[in-house]
Amino acid sequence: MGKKSLEQEDGLLLTKATGGVHTCFMRFAIDVAYLNERGQVIAVKENMKPWRIWIVRDRSAVMALELPAGRLKETATEVGDWLEFQPLQVGSL
């Protein structure tokens, strides 16, 4: 929130996203992928416009990955895929 856009490589991993995600107060659309605790994609929403709310009722949803709009399509990410995350090294920001 507060940004005018996301860079192509930007993203935000929400690790306590069991209640849902929203784009309130955002100025741009995003792609969202819900993940289970093992990192498997269980739901996707492409091009989620500002001022929208998305709640996934799947109890296995524990994380949400927010990306620039169009990134899920570019990477061919879909339900059933497995994503792996690695922590950033100190000083890499």
Backbone φ/ψ region at 25: left (φ over 0), alpha (ψ -120 to 50), beta: left
Length of the chain: 93
pTM for the structure as a whole: 0.85
pLDDT for 93 equals 55
pLDDT for 1 equals 54
pLDDT for 50 equals 95
pLDDT for 4 equals 73
pLDDT for 36 equals 95
pLDDT for 51 equals 95
Name the stretches of the chain with pLDDT < 70.
1-3, 90-93
Q: Hey, is 75 helix, strand or coil?
A: coil
